[in-house]
Protein backbone atom coordinates (compact mmCIF):
# COMPACT_ATOMS: atom_id res chain seq x y z
CA UNK A 1 0.00 0.00 0.00
CA UNK A 2 1.33 3.39 -0.99
CA UNK A 3 1.86 6.05 1.61
CA UNK A 4 0.50 9.57 1.27
CA UNK A 5 4.01 10.85 0.54
CA UNK A 6 4.48 8.30 -2.26
CA UNK A 7 1.15 9.31 -3.78
CA UNK A 8 2.14 12.98 -3.74
CA UNK A 9 5.46 12.16 -5.37
CA UNK A 10 3.73 10.10 -8.07
CA UNK A 11 1.21 12.87 -8.76
CA UNK A 12 4.03 15.42 -9.05
CA UNK A 13 5.93 13.12 -11.43
CA UNK A 14 2.82 12.71 -13.59
CA UNK A 15 2.36 16.50 -13.65
CA UNK A 16 5.97 16.96 -14.75
CA UNK A 17 5.55 14.33 -17.48
CA UNK A 18 2.41 16.04 -18.77
CA UNK A 19 4.21 19.39 -18.69
CA UNK A 20 7.06 17.94 -20.75
CA UNK A 21 4.77 16.20 -23.24
CA UNK A 22 1.11 17.33 -23.36
CA UNK A 23 0.32 14.56 -25.86
CA UNK A 24 1.44 11.77 -23.52
CA UNK A 25 -0.98 8.88 -23.11
CA UNK A 26 -1.98 6.96 -20.00
CA UNK A 27 -0.20 3.93 -21.41
CA UNK A 28 3.03 5.90 -21.85
CA UNK A 29 2.75 7.33 -18.33
CA UNK A 30 2.17 3.82 -17.03
CA UNK A 31 5.34 2.50 -18.64
CA UNK A 32 7.44 5.52 -17.68
CA UNK A 33 6.40 5.49 -14.01
CA UNK A 34 6.10 1.68 -13.65
CA UNK A 35 2.49 1.76 -12.46
CA UNK A 36 -0.69 0.33 -13.95
CA UNK A 37 -2.75 2.20 -16.53
CA UNK A 38 -5.64 2.09 -14.07
CA UNK A 39 -3.52 3.90 -11.45
CA UNK A 40 -2.48 6.52 -14.01
CA UNK A 41 -6.10 7.16 -14.96
CA UNK A 42 -7.05 7.43 -11.28
CA UNK A 43 -4.28 9.99 -10.68
CA UNK A 44 -5.27 11.96 -13.79
CA UNK A 45 -8.86 12.04 -12.56
CA UNK A 46 -7.61 13.43 -9.23
CA UNK A 47 -5.58 16.11 -11.03
CA UNK A 48 -8.57 17.12 -13.17
CA UNK A 49 -10.86 17.34 -10.12
CA UNK A 50 -8.25 19.46 -8.34
CA UNK A 51 -8.18 21.83 -11.31
CA UNK A 52 -4.49 21.28 -12.02
CA UNK A 53 -4.89 19.89 -15.55
CA UNK A 54 -7.55 19.72 -18.23
CA UNK A 55 -7.93 17.80 -21.45
CA UNK A 56 -8.34 19.82 -24.64
CA UNK A 57 -9.79 18.24 -27.76
CA UNK A 58 -10.94 14.74 -28.55
CA UNK A 59 -9.80 11.54 -26.91
CA UNK A 60 -7.82 10.58 -30.00
CA UNK A 61 -6.15 13.85 -30.98
CA UNK A 62 -6.44 15.90 -27.80
CA UNK A 63 -3.76 16.94 -25.35
CA UNK A 64 -3.32 17.75 -21.67
CA UNK A 65 -2.98 21.34 -20.53
CA UNK A 66 -1.59 22.45 -17.19
CA UNK A 67 -3.89 24.99 -15.52
CA UNK A 68 -2.06 27.82 -13.82
> Along the 68 residues of the chain, how does pLDDT read in single tens digits?
668 888 889 999 999 999 999 999 999 999 999 999 999 999 999 999 999 999 999 999 999 999 97
Q: Confirm if 53 and 21 have CB atoms less than 8 A apart.
A: no
pLDDT, position 50: 93
Task: Identify the helix (H) or strand (E) that includes residue 6.
Answer: helix 4-20
Whether this prediction's pTM lies above 0.95 is answered by: no
pLDDT, position 52: 95
Q: Confirm if 53 and 64 have CB atoms less than 8 A apart.
A: yes
Amino acid sequence: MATRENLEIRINEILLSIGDNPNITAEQLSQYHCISVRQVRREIKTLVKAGLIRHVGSNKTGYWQLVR
